[in-house]
Amino acid sequence: MKKYDLIVIGAGPGGYEAAARAAKQGLQTLLVEKQQLGGACLNNGCIPVKTLLGAVHFLQQIKKANLLNIQVEKAELDFAALIDRKNRLLTRLQKGIALLLQTSGVETLRGEAKLLPGKIVSVTPPAEASDGEIAVKTSAEYTADNIILATGSAPGVLPGITPDGGWLLDNSQLLRSKTIPATLAVVGAGVIGLEFADIYSRLGCRVTLIDVVPELLAAEDSEAAALLQKSLERAGCRFLLNSSVTKIEDKTLCLNSGETVAAEQCLLATGRRAQTDYILDSAVQKNAKGYVLTAADLQTTVPGIYAVGDCNGLALYAHAATYQGLAVADNLTLKNPRAINQTVLPRVIFTSPQIASVGYYTDRCAKIPLARLGRAQTENQTEGFLKIFLDPQDTIVGCVIVAGNADALIGEAVVLVNTRTKYADLQKMIHPHPSWAEAFALLD
Amino acid sequence: MKKYDLIVIGAGPGGYEAAARAAKQGLQTLLVEKQQLGGACLNNGCIPVKTLLGAVHFLQQIKKANLLNIQVEKAELDFAALIDRKNRLLTRLQKGIALLLQTSGVETLRGEAKLLPGKIVSVTPPAEASDGEIAVKTSAEYTADNIILATGSAPGVLPGITPDGGWLLDNSQLLRSKTIPATLAVVGAGVIGLEFADIYSRLGCRVTLIDVVPELLAAEDSEAAALLQKSLERAGCRFLLNSSVTKIEDKTLCLNSGETVAAEQCLLATGRRAQTDYILDSAVQKNAKGYVLTAADLQTTVPGIYAVGDCNGLALYAHAATYQGLAVADNLTLKNPRAINQTVLPRVIFTSPQIASVGYYTDRCAKIPLARLGRAQTENQTEGFLKIFLDPQDTIVGCVIVAGNADALIGEAVVLVNTRTKYADLQKMIHPHPSWAEAFALLD
């Protein structure tokens, strides 16, 4: 049985980054992935969804070009071509990861891994047919002093309701569809549901979102959530909150309220679930939802076995996975272990408008509506706001931005919160006029 | 003679902000302005130019919409309507300033001020005809314990070459033109010249830029300057550097090289000059170029008289003027004077691509080409880069960003440089994926 310094299971943003970092630092590293390089983020999440959103939002802007004195006769999005471009982009980025792994010296196997007791990883040919990547043809077992589990999460399901790839789809399946139905029902109005509702509604589809929650994005700033809801309603989305699906019959959802929702297509976007069934070593403990338990250093209940990214359930974000993967890899090789501090975790909802946030919210806040920003006025993009949240000592501890370009502006807040800057010190920092960044200088 | 606590001369971004802040803090404040509220920034600079650039860059993006799978049949910019919208925006923003001044309790006079010895300010009816604002009809004299000079700068002129508003225009005059000539000569390839060249060239005008400097934007990062030059050349701009104008004859510029440049219209954009002729108190000293001399607290050579903004020649940026104006106003009223520290001054060139920068450049730098950014890939906007400059202790001391949205991204660098963050600490900050802000997380 071949022995490595490190085996990483899962080549998503946690796993491939950890493997590359470890190999660069001299560890003999094996990476095992049963599907494509890049994980859910690259293949079914962040990158493909943002590619679609980018084109859809640009179309939306073009339709309002007259506000900037530009007459456009006809603007049409070729959705099938967009899906093709999205697929080409994924292939290009997968190749980029493959190159990174190769130049870092990582051995990569395409196969299904099982974690057996005694730090043994068995790799068998993958269940799915090959798509050009070279998969293992025979089974083998490997071992290592250290193992990183980075197997991510999968779309959540509801009891008795499982996407079949036909009428009822999960987000991965819907991302392959090249046509826009006239009506779409979305079960789950979380980030995934909202981003797809945004894409489809702005392309003329009537979208109905159904969720058990009484209000949208309860963990976010309520003013931000309300603004997004209003924007999506203007685009033709209908929100049925406080509602759950009791039955599905003949392409129709029956809700607990008695209401029925018929739709051409249905997206199930009810959160995510752990992908940890491959762990056959019962010493690696999981919580009730199947996520792997970890200590502060991300070690599982078996010394030398770590879990990073979605599969530990700590923070289901690609950037959290990357951070965790790199930190664990560093700590395996560096003399001074690095503290793993994830308290300042930014998040972005890439809808129109975007909602970007970081840190936590308090009752003390400074706010600036974008309409007060000269730059927003020159571009006629005045919907939205920026809020900064302060602790009792006036230290900046959180921020939310609602804007078309919130994912660019949030960077400043990331540094403000990380550096624990005082509000009075921010006010002394000169920001360029008339820039988008000036929003931070104009706070009350 | 009526006496105030404070008289502010000039209602640009330095003056009106200082007046409003002082009045809010209880000072009886008089503000005198001979033209319109807002100064060069609002009326002839930042805001109008960015309004034009915003529309022109959007048109440019629309013309490349096929890259995002959007077919656009015909897109045309109505330049005359754009100029009208720009004018309406200026009027709206002027009204906003008027409202701010009124609610702050500032008394505002429209008239020409002269600074006489003994802290006396004489105000006479303005030379220019009224444009709806109520100007003073009779002359009067006022005095105050403190006076802030905030009279800005005017377009520079060359010996023997003065814009006449006909063929030869300065930037204020060109901003009123509603037609695009077939050819434009631009004398001076600094920020103003470059921004106008960008607007006009992208609307089909053949632009020739002439400057005595051997290379473009010598104070900026040379790679950034080269990238911008290439982009403008692709848009049809021609650069004649190392060149000076020796003669103008029959709508033709004769250069020292012997070359001649004929053009339908000519923009003179050779920097700025002090507007300080109204200072008739010789105790207020000026430098050789006419800028008012100031100490660290921005006090002139006469105690109680301060100079803020362009007229002191320290930093010709609207945001520097605002910072200085607010600082002086604060120091007049607060018990603990606030240090006026302008070492970290950001600047943005709003061309396509934009160049935004802050702090200073060193030989130690980390760089990320935008093509490595997932978000840039999804939007097909991969031209440009981000560079961070470090001192020998690895403290972040400077940054330059070349990108279409550099004016949003620069905010993060403003805070990094102000907080003297170490590069290693930046690398530990989690940035959201796949965002524009992530550029800072992907640096080498």
Instruction: List CB contacts of B310: < 8 A, sequence separation 6 or more.
Output: B12, B14, B40, B152, B153, B272, B274, B275, B316, B321
Determine the Cα–Cα distance for residues A309 and B444; give it in Å rounded to an integer. 23
pLDDT band per the 50, 70, 90 thresholds, residue A88: very high
> In chain B, what is the greatest distance between 2 CA atoms, to the nearest angstrom?
69
Distances in Å between the Cα of B261 and the Cα atoms of A138, B69, B270, B301 are: 74, 41, 17, 46
Please name the member of A345, A377, A430 whose beta carbon is closest to the beta carbon of B342. A430
Question: Tell me: the pLDDT tens digits for A397-411?
Answer: 999 999 999 999 999
Closest CA to A50 of B421, B381, B61, B7: B381
Q: Which CATH number covers residue A365?
A: 3.30.390.30
Show Cβ contacts of residue A71 under 8 Å, excluding neighbours closer than 6 positions: A65, B74, B75, B76, B78
Could you say which of B57, B319, B431, B433 is catalytic? Answer: B433
Q: Are residues A146 and A90 in the same domain?
A: yes
Residue B2 assigned as binding residue: no
Copy the structure tokens of residue A348.
């972005």
Q: Are A208 and A189 in contact (CB under 8 A)?
A: no
Minimal CA separation from A343 to chain B, in Å: 10
Enter the tokens of residue B58.
């959007």
Q: Are A330 and A384 in contact (CB under 8 A)?
A: no
Structure tokens at A207: 């979208």
The label of the residue with tokens 């900064």 reads A388
Closest CA to A194 of A158, A154, A235: A235
Question: Is the per-residue pLDDT at B130 higher than 70?
Answer: no
- The tally of domains found in chain B comes to 3
d(CA B146, CA B303): 8
pLDDT of residue A277: 97
| Average pLDDT rounded to a whole number, residues B123-135 | 76
Question: Average pLDDT, stretch B345-370?
Answer: 97
- Under 8 Å CB pairs connecting chains A and B tally to 256
The answer on A184 and A301 residing in a single domain is no
Residues B17 and B141 in one domain: yes
Tens of pLDDT along A415-425?
Answer: 999 999 999 99
**Out of A69, A73, A426, closest to residue B77 by CB:** A69
User: Which range of residues forms the domain containing residue A185?
Assistant: 168-270
The helix, strand and coil proportions of chain B, stated in percent and rounded to the nearest 5, come to 30, 25, 40
Q: Report whether pLDDT(B443) > 90.
A: no
Find out whether the peptide bond into A303 is cis, omega within 30 degrees of 0.
no
**CA nearest B5: which of B19, A316, B370?**
B19
H/E run at residue A87: helix A79-104
pLDDT digits (tens, 9 = 90+) for B96-106: 999 999 999 99
Determine the Cα–Cα distance for residues A135 and B409; give it in Å rounded to an integer: 42
| Residue in B103, B433, B438, B443 to test binding to A, most A beta-carbons within 10 Å | B433
As a whole number, mean pLDDT of residues A51-55 equals: 97
* Lowest-confidence region among A98-107, B110-119, B133-142: B133-142
pLDDT number for residue A132: 59
User: Considering CB atoms only, which of B89, B318, B421 is closest to A378?
Assistant: B89
Q: What pLDDT is attached to residue B65?
A: 96
Query: Is B53 in a helix, a strand, or coil?
Result: helix
What per-residue confidence (pLDDT) applies to A127? 79
Peptide bond into B392 cis (omega under 30): no
Whether B247 and B279 share a structural domain: no
Band (pLDDT 50/70/90 cuts) for residue A327 is: very high
* A63 within a domain of the structure (yes/no): no
Helix (H, G, I), strand (E, B) or coil at A210: strand
Q: To the nearest 10°, the Cα dihedral for B187, B191, B196, B199?
A: 140
pLDDT band at A352, cuts 50/70/90? very high
- CA distances for A82 relative to A40, A53, A123, A203, B162, angstroms: 19, 10, 36, 13, 53
Please check the confidence at residue B152 and state whether its pLDDT lies above 70: yes
With CA atoms as reference, report the closest residue to B51 among B96, B92, B10.
B92
* % of chain B residues with pLDDT over 70: 99
- Cβ distance B435 to A348 less than 8 Å, yes or no, reads yes
Residue B63 lies in a domain: no
Task: Tell me the torsion sign for CA atoms B34, B39, B40, B43.
Answer: negative
Q: Indicate if A188 and A223 belong to the same structural domain.
A: yes
On the 0-12 / 13-18 / 19+ scale of CB atoms within 10 A, B47 is buried
Q: In the predicted model, is pLDDT for residue B2 greater than 80?
A: yes
Residue A49, in any domain of the structure: no
Q: Which of B378, B382, B412, B427 best tests the A interface by mutation, with the highest count of A CBs <10 A?
A: B378
Residues B143 and B283 in one domain: yes
Considering the domain boundaries, does residue A341 fall inside one? no
User: For A254, which DSSP code?
Assistant: E
Contact state of A69 with B89 under an 8 Å Cβ cutoff: no
Residue A95 lies in a domain: yes
A104-152 residue pLDDT tens: 999 999 999 999 999 999 999 987 755 556 789 899 999 999 999 999 9
Residue B366 has pLDDT above 60, yes or no: yes
- CB contacts of B75 in chain A (<8 Å) are 65, 70-73
Residue A175's CB is within 10 A of a number of other CB atoms, namely 21
Per-residue pLDDT, B336: 76
Tokens of A66: 């007259």
In this complex, do A428 and B375 lie within 8 Å of one another by their Cβ atoms? no
Residues 6+ apart with CB under 8 A from A27: A4, A5, A6, A332, A333
Is residue B383 annotated as involved in ligand binding? no
Q: What is the mean pLDDT of residues B380-394?
A: 96
Q: List pLDDT tens digits, range B259-274.
A: 999 999 999 999 899 9
Residue B310's CATH number: 3.50.50.60
Residue type, B132: G
Domain end point (choices B233, B254, B270): B270
Choose between B315 and A336: higher pLDDT.
B315
Q: What is the distance between the alpha carbons of residues A109 and A144, in angstroms, rounded to a whole number? A: 15
Q: Do the Cβ atoms of A85 and B69 come within 8 Å?
A: yes
Which active-site residues of A does the annotation give?
433
Q: Are A267 and A174 in contact (CB under 8 A)?
A: yes
Whether residue A253 is found in the same domain as residue A277: no
pLDDT band at A432 (very low <50, low <70, confident <90, very high): very high
> Is the CB of A434 less than 8 angstroms away from the CB of B318?
yes
Alpha carbons B154 and B40: distance in angstroms, whole number: 8
- Is A278 in the same domain as A294? yes
For residues A128 and A148, membership in a common domain is answered with: yes
Residue B153 annotated as binding? Answer: yes
CB contact under 8 A, A58 and B73: no
Q: Alpha-carbon distance B439 to B441, whole Å? A: 5
Q: Which residue of B has its CA nearest to A322?
A: B430
Q: Return the exposure string of A313-335: e unless at least 16 CB atoms fall within 10 Å of the residue's CB, then b.
A: bbbbbbbbbbbbbbbbbbbbeee
* Predicted local confidence at residue B396, as pLDDT: 98
Angle at which helices B15-24 and B318-333 cross, to 10°: 30
Q: Residue A54 has what pLDDT? A: 96
Q: pTM above 0.90?
A: yes
- Is the pLDDT at B7 greater than 80? The verdict is yes
Nearest residue on chain B to A13, judged by CA atoms?
B433
Residue A218 reports pLDDT greater than 60:
yes
Distance CA B35, CA B131 (A): 9
Q: Which residues of B234-259 are buried (b: 16+ CB within 10 A; e: fewer)?
A: ebebebbeebebeebeebebebeeee
Cα B427 from Cα B421, distance rounded (Å): 10
Residue B344 covered by a domain: no
**Nearest CB partner across the interface for B432, out of A356, A378, A405:** A356
Q: How many residues does chain A have?
A: 444
Same domain, A206 and A231: yes
* Rounded CA separation B38/B50 (Å): 15
Is B433 in Cβ contact with A318 (below 8 Å)? yes
Asked if B188 and B131 sit in the same domain, the reply is no
Q: Are residues A15 and A138 in the same domain?
A: yes
Cα separation of the two ends of chain B: 65
What average pLDDT does range B326-353 have in this prediction? Answer: 91
- Chain B residues whose CB is inside 8 A of the A378 CB are 47, 50-51, 54, 89
Task: Read off the pLDDT of each residue in A364-386 and give the average, rounded to a whole number.
Answer: 95
Question: Of the candidates B5, B38, B27, which has an alpha carbon nearest to the alpha carbon of residue B110?
Answer: B38
Q: Is residue A348 part of a domain?
A: no
For residue B122, list its beta bridge partners: B114, B141
Question: Nearest 5°: phi and psi at A123?
Answer: -120, 125
With respect to residue B16, please indicate whether it lies within any of the assigned structural domains: yes
In angstroms, the CA B339 to CA B308 distance is 15
> Residue A60: CB partners within 8 Å, gap ≥ 6?
A202, A352
pLDDT confidence band for A206 (50 / 70 / 90): very high
Q: What is the pLDDT of residue A189?
A: 97
Q: What would the DSSP string read from start to end of A222-246?
A: HHHHHHHHHHHHHTT-EEE-S--EE
Cis peptide before A181 (omega within 30 of 0): no
Average pLDDT over residues B342-354: 94
Instruction: Give the model's pLDDT for residue A175.
Output: 95
